[in-house]
Amino acid sequence: MKKLFTLIALAALSFNAAAHGPSPQKVEKTIVIKAAPAKVWAVVKDFGNMHAWHPAIASTKLEKKGEETFRTLTLKDGGTIYEKLRTADDADMKLKYEIVDGVAPVADYNSFMQVTAGPGAGESTVTWVGRFYRTYKLNPPIPAGQDDETAVKFVTGVYDSGLANMKKVIENSK
């Protein structure tokens, strides 16, 4: 957990809509939660309440701009991440979102979270997948902190700590 905050703190604010890197990175994590899929999906799809289950997030501010939905995540160390909701599909129990701006050391990040039933009766599986690039957008040498490793480590930390705590929060609630 502490590592995660350090990573966020280290991250240079270098978001930009121009050219991304040539090699996309991926993090894929799953967790099994002892709760009905509908209950888990209700938590996952609640775009404006990520702080309710993610331990690195202090608060979430939801914002509507016409048809579009955004959220600002304020991290416990003070940094913010601005994200856009792409879709929340009740039939597939799949939420898609992207990072627009913020302190995360990644570029062109898009992600989905999906809830499926099983493996056991009364259990749900949450899959969280992100695709993104490192922040450095020039030929090598690649500076430390802007490389693939930093980006992958950051996202891995976010997913691991988030899913573990989501499980705890849901399983402990009645």
Partner 1 sequence: MKNFVWFLALCLCACQHPPLAYITNQGDNTVSVIDTQQQKVTQTITVGKAPVGVAVSKKLQRVYVTNVEDGSISVINSATQQVIQTIKVTGSPVGIALSPDDQTLYVADWYSDRILAINTAHTEQTRELMVGKAPAGLVVSLDSKVLYVAARDSNQIVVIDTQTLSIQKRIDVGTHPFGVALSRNGKQLYSVNVYDNTISILDLTKPDKQPDLVKVGEHPYCVVTNTDDTKLYVTNTQDDTVSVIDLASNKLITNINVGMTPEGLSFNKALNEVIVANWGTNNVSIINAATDKVTATIKTGDKSRAFGQFMLQAND
Q: How far is the CB of 128 from partner 1 (least distance, A)?
A: 13
**CB closer to partner 1 out of 23 and 172:** 23
Total count of residues recorded for the chain: 174
**CB closer to partner 1 out of 109 and 154:** 109
Contact call for residues 75 and 58 (beta carbons, < 8 A): yes
Closest CA to 136 of 125, 150, 122: 150
Token digits for 115?
């809830």
**CB closer to partner 1 out of 137 and 153:** 137
List all residues 6 or more positions away from 58 whose beta carbon is below 8 Å from its beta carbon.
51, 74, 75, 76
**CB closer to partner 1 out of 80 and 110:** 110
Q: How far is the CB of 56 from partner 1 (least distance, A)?
A: 25
Can you tell me the distance from the alpha carbon of 154 to that of 157, in angstroms, rounded to the nearest whole number? 5
Closest CA to 118 of 46, 35, 29, 28: 35
**CB closer to partner 1 out of 103 and 113:** 113
> Angle 34-128-66 (CA atoms, 0-180°, nearest 5)?
110
The kind and range of the H/E element at 29 are: strand 25-33
Give contact residues for partner 1 (rule: CB under 8 A). 18-19, 22-24, 26, 96, 110, 129, 131, 137-140
DSSP annotation of 141 reads: P
Q: How far is the CB of 129 from partner 1 (least distance, A)?
A: 7
